[in-house]
Each structure stands twice: as C-alpha cells, then as structure tokens.
Amino acid sequence: MEDKIKEYEVVIGIEAHAELSTKTKIYCNCSTEYGADPNTHCCPICTGMPGVLPVLNEKVVEYAVKMGLATDCSIAKFSKQDRKNYFYPDLPKAFQTSQFDLPLCTNGHVDIFVNGAQKTIGITRIHIEEDAGKLIHDEFTGSTLVDMNRCAVPLIEIVSEPDIRNAAEAIEYMQTLKGILEYLEVCDCKMQEGSLRCDVNLSVRKHGDSKLGTRTETKNLNSFKAIQKSIEFEIRRQIEELENGGTIYQETRRFDDNLGTGYAMRTKEDAHDYRYFEEPDLAPIVLSDEYVSNIKNNLPEMPNVRRARYIEQYMLSEYDASQITNSKRLANYFDKTVSLCNNPKAVTNWIMGDFFKMLNELGLKINESKIIEQNLANLIKLIDTNVISSAMAKKVFVEMFETGKDAKAIVEEKGLVQITDESAILKIVEEVVNSNDQSVSDYLAGKDKAIGFLVGQIMKLSKGKANPTTVNELLIKVLGAKK
Amino acid sequence: MELYSLTIHEIAKKIKSKEVTIREVLDSVYSRIDSLENKVNAYINLTKEYAYISADKLQKKLDAGEDIGFLGGVPIAIKDNMCIKDVKTTCGSRMLENFVAPYDATVIERLELAGAIIIGKTNMDEFAMGSSTESSYFKKTVNPWDITKVPGGSSGGSAASVSCDMAFAALGSDTGGSIRQPASYCSTVGLKPTYGLVSRFGLVAFASSLDQIGPFTKDVTDMAIMLNAIVGHDEKDTTSVNLDKIDYTKYLINDAKNITIGIPREFLKEGLNPDVKEAFDIAIDKLIKLGAKVIDVNLDYIKYSLATYYIIATAEASSNLGRYDGIKYGYRTDKFDNLLDIYKKSRTEGFGEEVKRRIMLGTYVLSSGYYDAYYKKAQKVRTLIINDFKRVFEECDIIALPTAPNTAFKMGEKNLNPLEMYLEDIYTVPVNIAGLPGISVPCGFCHFNMPIGLQFISSAFEEEKLLQLAYTYEQNTEFHKMKPNI
Amino acid sequence: MSITREEIKHIANLSRINVSDSELDMYAETLSNIVGMANEINRLNTDDVKPTAHILESVNVFRKDEVKPSYSREKILVNAPTKESGCISLPKVVE
Ligand SMILES: [Mg+2]
Ligand SMILES: [Zn+2]
C-alpha cells in the first residue's frame, strides 16, 4: 500500500473560516463574546424573526479588506451580498447571507515554508458571511438543542487554490493564515473555540494524469491535529478505494477526531441548489481607492517580513525566526525582551528552550505566563554581567515561571549571587585538589575526564555559587603547577 | 354625528380642545367595531386593553397641559403583518397564529410618538399574497359597500375598517397594489409611498425590494397627516432614505394649474371595465377643468410589469418565507419522523395554497437552470420599466391611471384562477416595480354602486405632488364623502 | 411552457413543501399558466440592459461596531414551540 500511495498525487484546496474579532455581530448590535449562556446574545435580527432587517457592521468590511491586502488580493471596487438559501436548524433565516459572485477580495496568495523550501499557495477569494448557531445534542433526553448565540457572528471565508499537496503543506498553510490573521488582529484564532476552522477539499490522481480526481469535502476541522489526521485518512481512503476498483463520490464528509476516522454525511436526496440571489435588504459595497490605500498604509508588519528581519537583524536561524514570528504575541514578546536586554541570541535560546517546554506542558500562551518581558530581560542581564551562572539561571527561571517574581529578587532571596572573587574560589580549588589525589593523578596521567569530577566537587563545595569560568581557569592553573 | 365617522383632522382638534375625551373617542370606535365586526370581519385581533391604557396616559398628559402629538388620541388600525411588541402578529396565516412579536416595528414607534392609539390588527391575505383578503387563514373580510364582495387585498381589513369608520385610519402594506387596490374597492384614500420613504423594519417581509408601508385614510388631508407621522429615515432599515423631513400638510393646496398629467392611453384598452373607464375619463376631464394640463404618454414596457412582478416578488418571497420552518417559532406539526419531515409537514400544514404556490414559483425561478431565464431577465426588464418611467416623468409631473381595472368582485369568483386575480393588479404593479409612489382616491361608482379609484403616480419622493393633485381633485368632488350603507 | 409533475415535485422538495398526488396536477397547471404569462418577458431583447437588484442607488450603508444590549432569553424563546435548558429543543431528528 505504501508503494501505491507514492504513485498518486494529492490535490488539496482549503476553505478556511475565520470568525472576525468585531465587538458585534455582522448585522445587529449583539455581542460576539464567546461562551455566554445559550441564547443570551440574541435579538430579533440575529434570530431571524419576522420583520427584521440587517445592517452591515462596518468593521466586517474593514477586517476582510485587511486580510485581503495582507494576502495580496485584489480588493473589489464593487461587491455585494447574496442569500444562500437552505434549511437547517442552526440557520434561523433559512438563508445564510454570504457573497456569491462578487466577493470583497480575489486572486491573492501566501507563501509557506515547508522543510526550508518556500511555496506559494494561491488564494482564490475572501468573502464575508455570517456564522450559524450551535446545535447541542443532549445525550440524556435525546433531543437537539438550538443555541443561537453564534448566529450571525461575522466570518471571512478564505478559499485557497488547489495548490496544496499533503498534510504538512496544509498545516503550514493554516499556520500561515493564522499568523496573518493574528498579526492583523482581525481574528483571535482560537481553534478550540472554532474561531478558526477549515473545510478540506481533497482528491487524488496518478502522477502524470492531467484530469483531476473526484474530490470530497471534509467539513469543520478545528485543530491542526484534526487537519493532519483527516488528510492522511482521506488520502489513504481514496487511494485504497481506487486501488480496489471503487469509485470516489463527490460528498461531504466529517472527521471524528476521537476515533481518528472520517465518514460521509448522509447524502441529501436533493442535490444542493442554494438559489443564490442578491440580498435586497443590503446595499452594495463600493470601496474607493482612498479607503483601500488607507487600510493598506496602516497594515502592521506581517509575519514573513518580520521573519526576514529577525534573520537579517538578529541572525536568528530560519527555523527559530519562523517559530517566533508565527505568533504575533510571541514575536512581540521577543521584541520587547530584546529591547530590554539587548541580547537576541539569549532571548531566542530561552524562548525556544525551557520557556517553550514549560508553556507547552501547561498549554499556555506566552502572554499567559507569569514571566513578563522585563523579568526575562533581567535574568539575561544577570547572566551577562556574571552575577549568576547559567546553571543558577535555570533554577531562577523555574522559580520565576512559578511565582512571577523578578529574577533579581529571587537571586537575592536565595543568596544565589555567584562567587567571582578569585581568592575565595582559589581557596576552594586548592582544598578540592588537595583532598582528591586519585583524580589529580588521573588528570596528570592524561585522563582529561578527571577534571570534570574536580569541577563538580568545587561547585558542590561552593554550593554552586562559584563562577564556573573562574573555577576552570584556576583549576587548570593549580593542576598545571603540579605537573 | 357620531365621533367615529369624523376624520383625523376633525377628531384630533376635538380631543385637543377637550371637547371630547380620548376615552369617548375610543368608546365610539370600539362600539362601531362591536356593531359591525361580525359582518365585516376586518380585524384579526383587537388591542383594546392596551388601547385604553394608552388613552388614559395620553389624557393625563393632555390634562396636565402637555403636548400629546398631532395624532394625540387618534385610534388607528394596523395590518397584521406589522410587529407590535407583545402583540400577536399573524400575517393572516396559520403559520403565525400564535406568534407574539418581541419588538415594535418602526412605524408603530413613529405612530405612538405622534400620539396615535393602536386599536387592533387587521385582516389580510396570508403573508400579503392576494388581491381579495380571501386567503387569510382566519376569516374573510367583506366589502362594506356590498357584503357579498371582496374588499380587495391584501390589506383588505385595513381598507374595510377605514371605509366603514371602524378606524380613523389604518396602515397597510403594498407590494404590488395591496394598499391602492383595496382603497379603490372600498372607497378610501390609499397611498403607497416611494420605496425607501417609510421604514420597513418590523414589516413582515413578502418581497423585500417591492414592499412598502402606507396609510389608508378617509380623506387626503388625513393622508398628509399620517405621512407626517410615519415618514423618516430609520437606521434599522438600510433601504430607508435620509431626506430632510417635510410637512406634507403644506401641500394640501387646491390648485391643479401647472400640473401636467400624463396618460398612457395604450394601457387603457384591454381588460378595462367600461364603468371604470368612464369614471376615469370623467375624472380626467374634471382635472382639465381644474387647470391641469393632460398629455398622452407612452410607457412601452409597462405591459411587462405583471410578468416581472410575479418573478421578482415570488423569488424574494420564497427566500423570505424560508424562516417559517417549524423550528424556532410559528406552527410546528405534531407528528414527524425526521428533520425533513418537520420542515415539510409544518410548512405544508402552516401555509395556505396561494402562499405555497408562490413559494414554489419563486423557488422555480431561482433554481439552477432557470435563474438567468427568469430571475435575472426580470431584473433586466425591471430596469427597462424604471427607465420608461424616468423618461415619461421628464414630460409630465403625474401619471394618471385607474387604480384597478374592475370594481370589487364577488367572493370566491376569482379563487380558481390565480392569473385572473393577478390581473387586478395590472395598474398598481408597475409602481412597485419602479419603486414609485402612488395614491388612490375615490372617483366614482360603477352602475351597481361599487367604488372606483383613481390612481396618481409621481416620480420618486414627490409624494407632495401626489397629495396636491389628490387634494385638488377631492376638494372639487364629493366621492370621498360617500359612506357605505352597512 | 409547462411545468411537469416531476418539476413540481422537485421544487416542492426544495421549498420543503409536501404536494400530494392530487395536488400535483393543480399546481402543475396553475404554475404553468403563471410561468407562461411570465415568459412574455423573454420576447424582449435585454442584452445590453443592467439588472436592477436595488431600486435605490445608495451604497455602503453601514453601522458602527457598538454593542447594544441583547434581548432577554425569555423574549427570544417566547415563541419557541418547545424549549429546554435555555434553548429551542427539537426531538432527536438531527443527524
Ligand atoms: Mg461559506
Ligand atoms: Zn442580534
């Protein structure tokens, strides 16, 4: 099977849905805040009561245009909103207001980096639309409950070209979108809350075939893990199906993250016919060059630009630069810390090392940790000025992470200040040299390893406070005298 | 003379001068309703309790020397497709039999701001789809001039209530003639404002690009007063225009000189009842005598209005009425096997035949493969009709037409053939297609004494011209003073 | 131009309306008549004509992004045929 898989090319296009971080819904003044009690962020408009009319939130247009510009799209001078008619209990009006043939943004692209190589993924279009409500299936009573709080929360749908070839590229593409959305501050990208999610269109064909295979659409993936697993599952399923002489049907599928399997949704007996038509209650959107250029001129630095800057200005590795710039929060944290301690290399090492590890263990974002930028900068300065050793710093860092206390305070509190006084260190060195004859003679006999033991003993005796560089220098001097 | 038989401008004066109390006015109109309603069936719901509470509040204000508004204490009826907070809004449908609106339509806020008292919700064709008010799920309103005949529709309840003094004025909605045609059949004044002049917020949508709310009144003076109350920009309706407010009563000028009236004669041949034609011709002669200049005009595309209308209106309706699905509010069927079943049974049982027919027609013209041939084509013809009117309004100020080709027909007469019923809207529909204002004023009676209406149409947002010409005509004729003998 | 019984079935399904066998002919006939009338417009040449979706020429009618109080849950659910746990409820019918 694995060999067979290599014979196929995978073609993937992604429709990403990003909930915009506006204060209010797209057509009414209800709050978009997440997590409220069911049906408490609702009004007659967003619940589609008879007689109501929509009024478009100006921020929705602005945010969509921002995303369009950040992904090099053309911004439509004239665009309109359309009704997409279908029945479902999470859609109170029985139509979703969306954009059909004249979306706000078209024909853009983003660059992604996979295994060090750059690849361009085309963006077909970005349009504005409204989210649907939430259906809760009550296991106990067996009934379905409708919560309309999410109804009419504004979304942008970002449709990619079928340029993606595997799960890694899909993940990278979504990471890149996420980065851009976060940098623009138009979406909070909390995938677990569904504020960034995607549908994956996937087909396979034998290498060299010019005709595309039949595609399936796996809906509503809201974690990178789910995107990866569902793509791998679907690739294998389609190839197996074809290899066994079966047919791929154009169908809508779901992916069960817990079971790790995808399944086709029950096909409706009627082919979808959404009967799109222009929303008569909403006027067209006409954007002037001035409006667009004003937004363009005020776009923040984008992740790819920042990445290049880090590589050039701070000489970060491409990997480190990508990792740090992927999240605006992280990059901002990085920038601020660097500005406070002027040691980008050290900041990078801390962030990419212990800090990341500890954050990941607790599932925290960098801004949710107790270590503020000034604290990390202070810690680095303590090392750079030889007040504490790197070994000490690791301990201090743990304490900082747990308590949020300042590095200096911890160092003073624990009496961790490093001994840099050469005469004091020399005393300890001599004491250790004199009481470890065996190691000394091993060293003199050419066993360099023995020095490690001696250093350890010295550090132990100094309770870890002796400056390791000084210790090394003096130890070699003392031992040298014995030759 | 009974209080209920007075006009708004008469009763408002009596209230303000404390010649009568607001309670007395309400008592009078409700007693009129009590004595006639079982015959006329104009109302779906009365809002008596609320009306008396409002009356007492207003009276207190008045007695304290405060301003109670230019409609202070005047009882007004509302077509049952406009939402009033905590009151049932049924749209004449089983689907919304128990639907209680949690909010006020903008027109309700505006009327109450002017001091009006809402006395009840009037009967209508189901979801405003019809020209006879016979498609109401609840009852059949009769024409007060002949109770074997329809009042017209879809705002038949509003027209009937005003024509026999069961309300001082009423609001209706007009998508293809639903104010003007029943006004004509019942001998009241009825005005469909320019699209965008009156907020549609709270009007249950039938066809969003055509719907407009307007008043039924006993005379043209009252019409100007009602317009003053309901016209104005509303941020909740993005199709409501932001124009400077004008006082329409300033245009109640008895003078037709300097007004040029255009008549599309070629449109007045086929299907026009001879009595209506005669009344129309006499009315035009009268206007000429009053100083108006009359010219012939050509509206080449107007004959395609009905076709255009039935495509656009049903397409929009099919989408607007999707929300009645048995899930969130409204009628839900008792027995069902699955989701599809809830939808289909609720809608099949909750909607009447004409509504279902129009939903299906609208679905058809929007469905894949037919969109271009019907919906898009109709939108293009709409452009042609709009341009036609624009061109003609460079030659004249007002276009005059009969309001309807016939007088009110017998109940049940046109139920079997929907197309025949649709033809009653032939003179009113073009106005909606082009988004223009139109007014119907009483202009005579046919040989078996059923009222005939005369329609004036103007350019967009020139209601004042309509009012001036209608006022001039009314001041020089007696038809508006005639009351049905019921 | 006539609409067949099959087409009626299809659009009835799209409209989520049941049409009984006995109603099929009636709807097929009346809809065919109306569509026949509507077909008049197909005699017109409209190649160079722009469609009108909005009568008014206004564009960009926007609203500020300012939160206003939502309605109470009681008001929002007052018309729900059945409710449970602060939600509209449906017997288990949704897959
Ligand atoms: Mg979408
Ligand atoms: Zn809302």
> Does any domain span residue B299?
no
> Token pair 């009425």 is at which residue?
B321
Would an 8 Å CB–CB cutoff place C18 in contact with chain A? no
Contact B107, B197 (CB under 8 A): no
Indicate which of A43, A49, A286 best probes the interface with B, i.e. most B CBs within 10 Å of its own CB.
A49
Which of these is catalytic: B178, B199, B240, B346? B178
Q: Residue B185 and residue B237: Cα distance in Å, rounded?
A: 31
Cβ separation C87–A136 shorter than 8 A: yes
CA distance C95 to chain A (A): 8
Would an 8 Å CB–CB cutoff place B102 in contact with chain C? yes
Q: Which ranges in chain A are annotated with CATH 1.10.10.410?
A: 422-480
Closest CA to B256 of B285, B225, B287: B287
Q: Domain limits at B178? A: 3-260+396-481
Question: B425: which DSSP letter?
Answer: G
Backbone φ, ψ for residue A56 (5° rounding): -70, 135
Neighbours of chain C (3+ CB pairs under 8 A): A, B
Cβ separation A51–B89 shorter than 8 A: yes
| Contacts with A55 from chain B: Cβ below 8 Å | 235-236, 238
Q: What is the rounded average pLDDT for all residues in chain B?
A: 97
Q: Residue A68 and residue A79: Cα distance in Å, rounded?
A: 14
Neighbours of chain A (3+ CB pairs under 8 A): B, C
Q: What is the pLDDT of residue A269?
A: 47
Judged by its nearest atom, the ligand closest to the C-alpha of residue A155 is: 1
Q: Residue A442 and residue B342: Cα distance in Å, rounded?
A: 89
Contact B142, B415 (CB under 8 A): no
Ligand 2 center to A41 CA (angstroms): 7
Contact A402, A447 (CB under 8 A): no
pLDDT (tens digit per residue) in B378-429: 999 999 999 999 999 999 999 999 999 999 999 999 888 888 889 889 999 9
Q: What is the pLDDT of residue A457?
A: 85
Q: Which CATH architecture has domain A422-480?
A: Orthogonal Bundle (1.10)
> Does any domain span residue B322?
no
pTM of the shown model = 0.91
- DSSP H/E element including C41: none
> Does any domain span residue B253?
yes
pLDDT (tens digit per residue) in A177-191: 999 999 999 999 999
Closest CA to C4 of C22, C26, C28, C20: C28
Compare all CA atoms of chain B with the CA of C61 and give the residue at the minimum distance.
Answer: B238
| Contacts with B202 from chain A: Cβ below 8 Å | 51-52
Q: Residue A412 and residue A416: Cα distance in Å, rounded?
A: 6
pLDDT (tens digit per residue) in C17-44: 999 999 999 999 999 999 999 999 999 9
Q: What is the pLDDT of residue A414?
A: 78
Question: B216: which DSSP letter?
Answer: E
Compare all CA atoms of chain C with the CA of B367 and give the residue at the minimum distance.
Answer: C11
User: Coil, strand or helix: which one is A145?
Assistant: strand
Q: Residue A225 and residue A236: Cα distance in Å, rounded?
A: 17
pLDDT (tens digit per residue) in A255-279: 998 888 899 886 554 557 999 999 9
Distances (CA, A) of A27 to A32, B16, B117: 11, 42, 31
Q: Residue B168 and residue B164: Cα distance in Å, rounded?
A: 10
Question: Which is higher by pLDDT, B390 or A388?
Answer: B390
DSSP conformation letters of A119-133: EEEEEEEEEEEE---
Judged by its nearest atom, the ligand closest to the C-alpha of residue A24 is: 2
Would an 8 Å CB–CB cutoff place B410 in contact with chain C? no
* Size of the A and B interface in Cβ pairs below 8 Å: 94
Compare all CA atoms of chain C with the CA of B210 and give the residue at the minimum distance.
Answer: C55
Q: What is the pLDDT of residue C91?
A: 83
pLDDT (tens digit per residue) in B204-241: 999 999 999 999 999 999 999 999 999 999 999 999 99
Residue B218 designated active-site: no
ipTM over 0.85: yes
Cα within 13 Å of Cα(A184), Cβ side: 28
| Predicted confidence (pLDDT) at residue C94 exceeds the cutoff of 80 | no
Task: State mean pLDDT over A77-91.
Answer: 97
Could you tell me the residue ranges of all domains in chain C? 5-42
Cis bond before residue B154 (omega within 30° of 0): yes
Q: What is the pLDDT of residue C5?
A: 93
| Predicted confidence (pLDDT) at residue C93 exceeds the cutoff of 80 | no
Q: With left for phi above 0 and alpha for psi between -120 and 50, is residue B404 left, alpha or beta? A: beta
The residues near B436 (Cβ < 8 Å, ≥ 6 apart) are: B194, B195, B389, B457, B458, B459, B460
Would an 8 Å CB–CB cutoff place C68 in contact with chain A? yes
Indicate the range of A235-239, A447-451, B60-64, B271-275 predicted with least confidence: A447-451
> Does any domain span residue B181?
yes
Q: Residue A86 and residue A88: Cα distance in Å, rounded?
A: 7
Ligand 1 center to A50 CA (angstroms): 24
Compare all CA atoms of chain B with the CA of C48 and give the residue at the minimum distance.
Answer: B380
Would an 8 Å CB–CB cutoff place B461 in contact with chain C? no
Residue B390 designated active-site: no
Distances (CA, A) of C60 to A51, A61, A97, A284, C84: 22, 10, 16, 6, 40
Cβ separation B323–A93 shorter than 8 A: yes
Largest CA distance in chain C: 58
> Does any domain span residue B391?
no
Judged by its nearest atom, the ligand closest to the C-alpha of residue B236 is: 2
User: Coil, strand or helix: which one is B456?
Assistant: strand
Residue B79 designated active-site: yes
Q: Does domain C5-42 have CATH number 1.10.20?
A: yes
What's the CATH code of the domain at B171?
Answer: 3.90.1300.10
Would an 8 Å CB–CB cutoff place B381 in contact with chain C? yes
Judged by its nearest atom, the ligand closest to the C-alpha of residue A132 is: 1
pLDDT (tens digit per residue) in A336-349: 999 999 999 999 99
Cβ separation C34–B351 shorter than 8 A: no
